[in-house]
Every structure is written in structure tokens, then in C-alpha cells.
Structure 1
Amino acid sequence: MLGETIIPAHFREQAEWCRTLGSSFTADLCLAFAEDFEAGGIIAGLVSDWPTNPRKDALALRLAGCLHHAVLTGRAPELARTYPASDPHWKMSKVWPLARDWLSGHRDWVIAFLESPPQTNETRRCIALLPGFLELAHRFDMPMHLLELGASAGLNQNWDRYSYSTSSWQRLQRPKSGVTITTDWQIDPPRYLDAQPRVDSRAACDLSPFDLSDPEQVMRLKCYTWPDQEERLSRLDAAVRLAQQTGISVDKADAADWLTRKLEARPAKGLTVVFHSVFLIYPPREVIGQIMSTIAAHGERATPDAPLAWLSYESEALFGGSTDTPLMETRMQVWPGGKARTLNRSNGHVTQVIAPPA
């Protein structure tokens, strides 16, 4: 069967990505998945007949999230004692036997859990988008109307309420929101750090949005954050609390249809900003084309009183860049005018920010 080679290869590839992004725990766990699968263990029993592309479906992260969910919710107390939150000196040789036994004993629950794709709503992506937002605030002295696509729980709707801190620059929010986003910033500081965006409206959509008033859905969101990344876990908790306090909500809707309706009804005055981050890897190709065409068509209708901006953080390959690296790029296009620019590049978790191609 093709899955006999593709699935363990996917687990090993995911392990490399996790290690690169700073999670040796999740990397070692993915390697344990691969070895167990090849040995005909519980992982093979759970996913050997996986019907679609395991890489596109993030199968390894579904499994890792399943185990983390069991740990966070108290379903697996013995396993929890071996996880990084309880044992900073964890060893996979202790973790995996308990994880394997727990999966074997809860097979039906695990299979049901694996049906849903992982979502992380990575708030650190806001720091890659921030230079674009600040430039727009400086350039257009007018109210800003936000439209976010693929927003998950909507945490990035609060980008202007977060603080940002790097070794070369800071933008601290007053009053403090409890969320500070950091990264290894390797390029010049953003211009217009003193700009003050005037966000008048926020709207967002997702096919499967999280309801942050539901503790179970909050836990489902949290379990996909890697267990040995305490900073990400703490930042997520703070971002969820802020979203609950500020009343952030996300419409359950198809992005292409939702965007068409929103742009047709956008205010006659003010700057409309369509933005998204690591979203366009998910829709079918024809839906991606529809979204891009819709934005471009409404861009042609933009006026100085009602400009339109498109700010995205997506794979370089999507806009004709290299397909050989997993790098993302922040890209901004503004109408009237419509000229596109690349502002910076980074990876999926924005652990460092580097310059765009020359």
C-alpha cells in the first residue's frame, strides 16, 4: 500500500519541521509515530488507511494534538506527568510507551478526534503583518475596516491591541493587553512605529471557527500548540482572554462568498483592509483564484476616499516565489494604484523575520 511509505515519511518530515521551529518534544513524538507505524503498532492501526494526503491533512499534528488534549484535560493523568509542563527533563523513552498505551485504550475517541484538522491561530504572525498595518495607518488618515479570512478563533483581529518587542525595536501597547509578541527580527525596524491605527470595525470568517465562550473549543485550540513551547502556550492563553474581553467573533462562512458580500457592502469612506495569514494553503485552487479576482476587481473600484488594501502572510510559492523552501512572505497591495510589495519573510511560526528577496 502507498500509505506504508507515505505516512511514515510524512511523520519524519514533520519531525524535521518541528525541530527547526524549536519543538524537540513534538519532533521526537513524530519520530515515535513513524517507528510505531512501521512496526505495525497502534499508529498503523489508527491511520494506515488514511484516505487523503497525510501531509496536507497535517496527520502528525492531529495525532500530537490528540495526545496533548488528553494531557491538558486530565484524560491521561499518567501520561501528563511525563509531558514538559510537569517534567522539564522529559524523555521520549518514558513518554511514548504511556502515549502508545493510552492511544490503544481509547481508540474510538482518538479516531473521532482525528477527523478535525488542527488549528493554532498563531498570534506571532501579527508581527510579520504589523509593518503593513502601520504603513497603512500612516498613509491613510482615516478609519480602518478589517476583514480577515480564515481567522480560526479571530485572535489576530486584536493585532493593534498587542505589544511587540524585539532586540532592535518595541511597540508597547497602553493599557497593557497581556499579550506581547516577540521574534528574532533580523531586518530594519518597521517604519512608522508611532502610527496610531483607527480601527472602526472588525469582521472575520472561517469554515470552522472556534467559539471562545466554549471551554472545550478553547482547549481544542490550545492542544495544537506544542507542549514544550511555554511562551506560545502562555501567549495563547492571554490572547484568548483578550478576545473574550473585547468580544471578538468569527462568522462561519465560505471565505470567497463572505468576502464578496463584505466588499460589496464596504463603507463609502474609510480604508478597508483584507488580511489573512497562512490561510491560502487550504482552499481549493479555484477558490483561491476566486478570492484573488474578487479583491482585484474591488481594488479597481477603490477611490481616494475609500481605498482598499490587501495584506497577507502566505507561502512564497503562492505568488510565484520559490517552491523549494517553506518560507512565507508578507505581501501588501493597495488601491488606487494596485502595486504589490513584499515586506518581509519568515516561517510558519515567525520565529525570525528576514528580508524579502532582492
Structure 2
Amino acid sequence: MSEAEVPDVVKALMLQAGICRNMGSTLNGELLDRAAADWLAGGPVKALMAPWQDVALRGQLHAASPLRLIGAWHELALSGDDPAVSAAYAALDAEAIWVAVSVAMAQRRERLAQFMAHEPQTNEVRRSIALIGGFLEIASATGLPLRCFEIAASAGLNLSWDRYRYQMGEAAWGDPKAKVRMDTAWEGGAPPADAAVTVVERSACDRRPTDLADPDQRRRLRAYIWADQTERLARLDAAIEVALANGVRVEAADAVDWARARVAPAPGAVTVLYHSVFWQYMPPESQAALAALIAEIGAGATPDAPFAWLRMEPPGGTTVMDVTLTLWPGGRETILAQAGAHAADVRWLGANLS
């Protein structure tokens, strides 16, 4: 079969295999390569991927169809409902996993397909180490307490960013006794780690939030952590514990509607609207509506009631994220840092907001 004849659903599996390897998951790279070969051979992967069999490559990536597949396998392993799959994943043995999931795809197709019908719901906690520089810059530039509003927050784990401990090269910030501790391959200087930070209000929304009180939903969140990245899984578990202890809740709402109803500058504090790896998944009309709303909110900011828009988003067609801050009054935009999608590396570019 020539490259032109390879279906886009298979191309998506192979492309995601390469992305997984580049982001440190050799296990999922191997499994997705096997899945692509299985689809071409008419194996059980083809039946599970049937809802996306005629979707163009861009649509495959937008729907994250390959991640749904490996997430479904991992969720089955975490559930304990299939001992062979659980044992293979515990050993992180690609060959054993493939043998076990091949049987499971035939015997438990309905269970796996049901999982895959729901769009991936992730909450990468380490993105907070990319965003923390923005929060520190905002606090330093304004000298005001923060009101924090996160959109597309999933389970709201990054809503607790100020409850975590960070190591940013030579600089550190946060409670040394924090349960969630983060470091990364940090390059460049550091944000103002001596800035006084007080969060006086926090809330969040998501179109389909994860309820951390529900063990099935917690398991679903864990399933999307790549199985061979055990440090990420441990960090997620610790962040879930922090969120539950602090009563973190995420409202079920559309980002534009929620921001319009909830977010506005308030005297005596800086209002911060923030998000990470979300913009690209919105329809163009929603992007335009949210951008217009943010500009409208910014126009209402004053020196005593400033407004900040902080985001970690790819500039387009890449896994490299720009951490960008726009601060009103004035609406000055600054790219503070660049980071990988999982924030395993951060390159601080610096800021001059004074």
C-alpha cells in the first residue's frame, strides 16, 4: 500500500505514536504502531476506530482518536476488570499489553467503545509550572491580590496552582511542605519568585467537568496519563488529593457564557482569566466570541481594578506552547515562556511589565 493509500485514521495512529515517543512514552509509541498495523490487517482495532474511519487527518487529531484508544486500554487496566490487561500494564511490557488488549478488544468491545465515545478529558497538572511565571509576573506588576478564573478547567487541578511547590531552575516558589511538587527542564532566567501572592477568589468552568468525588471519573482522568510516565500519575494523584481536601469544584458551563457572566474587573484586586491547551479545540466562531469578550473585559480595567489574560497555547500546528500574558489597562501582550505540551520543559523568555 502506498502512502497515499493509507487511510487518515491509520496515519493518525502512526503520527500519535511518534508524538508519544518524542514526549517520552516509548510504550505508547510501540502500542500505537501495533494498532496501526492491526487496523491495516483488519484486526479488532479497525472495529473500535470505526467512528473515525472516514475522518480526515486534521479531524482525527482534533478528536484525539488515537488517545481515546490507548486511554480505553489503560482505563481497563486500572479498573481491574480484566486481570490479564492489568498485569501486563503493571509490568509495562508492550508485548504482553498488546497480547492482552487484543483479546480484550474482541471480548470487551462494547466496554472499550463506550469509553472512546467520550472525548478525552485530561488535566495535566505540570502545566502549572509553565503558568506560575505568569501569576508571579501579574502579582509583581500590580501589587494586588489575585482573583483567578480558569476556563476549560477539566477537574480543576490547575485551579490550586498556588498550593503547589515549584522548582524553576535555581529559583523556587511555594510551600516547601506542599504535597504536589514540580520541577522541569527549565531554561533561561526565572520569574519574580519573591512576589507577594495572595489568591482571594478562585472558580472554574468546563463544558464537561470531571467530578473528582466519583471514583469512575477519577479513573478516567488517570487513564489518560501515559502508563509508563509514572511520575505524572503520582503527581496527578497528589493533586487530586489536594483538590478534594480544599473542596475544589468546576462548574459545568460554556466558556464564553461563563466568562461573560462571571468575569469582570473588581477594585482592589487583579482579575485573572486563564486557560491551557484549550483554544485550538474551540470552533472558530467560539474563538472569535471569546476574544471579543476578553477585549471587552479588558477595556473596563483600571489601575485599581486590572485584568489579566494568561494562557498556555500552541501558536499553531505544533506541540510547543507559548505562555502569553496580556495585562490591562493598556492591553500589553508579552510571550513569557515556551513549554512542551506536558510542561516537561520550560524556556523562560522573561518579561518587563513595569
CA RMSD of aligned residues (A): 1.7
Q: Which amino acid aligns with 2:108?
A: H
Which residue number in structure 2 is paired with residue 211 of structure 1? Answer: 211
What residue in structure 2 maps to residue 180 of structure 1? Answer: 181
Q: 1:256 Cα deviation (Å)?
A: 0.5
CA drift at 1:247 = 0.9
Q: 1:40 to 1:339 in 2, by over 3 A?
A: same
Cα drift, residue 303 of structure 1: 0.6
Structure 2 partner of 1:33: 35
Q: CA deviation at 1:69?
A: 0.6
**1:243–1:132 distance in 2 versus 1, CA, 3 Å:** same
AA paired with 2:323?
T
- The 5 A counterparts of 1:25-174 are 25-50=27-52, 52=55, 53-83=59-89, 86-87=90-91, 90=93, 92-174=94-176
Q: Percent identity?
A: 37
- TM alignment of 1:140-289, pairs within 5 A: 140-174=142-176, 176-190=177-191, 192-264=192-264, 266-289=265-288
Please state whether the residue corresponding to 1:44 is helix, strand or coil: helix
> Which residue does 1:344 correspond to in 2?
337
Q: Which runs of 5+ in 1 are unaligned?
A: 318-322
> Which amino acid is 2:87 matched to?
R
Distance 1:123 1:232 in 2: 8
Letter paired with 1:185: W
Aligned equivalents of 1:296, 1:101: Cα separation in 2: 53
How much has 1:220 moved relative to structure 2?
0.8
Provide, for residues 154-182 of structure 1, a one-character-per-residue CA deviation record: whole Å limited to 9, x for no partner.
000011110012443322415x2310111
Residue 248 of structure 1 aligns to which amino acid in structure 2? Answer: V
Structure-1 separation of matches of 2:107 and 2:5: 24
* 5+ long unaligned stretches in structure 2: none
2:271 partner SS:
strand
- Whether the 8 Å contact between 1:271 and 1:309 is mirrored in structure 2 is yes
Task: State the aligned residue count.
Answer: 343
Structure 1 residue 23: Cα displacement: 0.6
Superposition deviation, residue 355 in structure 1: 4.9
Given that residues 68 and 120 in structure 2 are in contact (C-alpha distance below 8 angstroms), is that contact kept between their aligned partners in structure 1?
yes
Assess, with a 3 A threshold, how the Cα gap between structure 1 residues 3 and 146 changes in structure 2: closer, same or farther: farther
Match in the other structure for 1:293: 292
> Secondary structure at the residue paired with 2:200?
strand
Deviation at 1:194, TM superposition (A): 1.7
- What per-residue deviation string (whole Å, max 9, x for no partner) do you get for residues 284-324 of structure 1? 0110111111111111110111100000000113xxxxx4x
Q: Offset of 1:75 from its aligned partner? A: 1.4
Q: Is the 8 A contact 1:168 1:185 kept in 2?
A: no
Distance 1:167 1:306 in 2: 32
Structure 2: distance between partners of 1:262 and 1:71: 40
Asked whether the 8 Å contact 1:4–1:48 carries over to 2, the reply is: no
Task: Indicate conservation of the 8 Å contact 1:205/1:250, yes or no.
Answer: yes
Amino acid at match of 2:270: L
TM-score, reference length from structure 2 = 0.93
Q: Give the aligned partner of residue 5 of structure 1.
A: 7
Which aligned segments of 4 or more residues in structure 1 are displaced greater than 4 angstroms? none
Partner Cα separation in structure 2 for residue 281 and residue 270 of structure 1 = 30
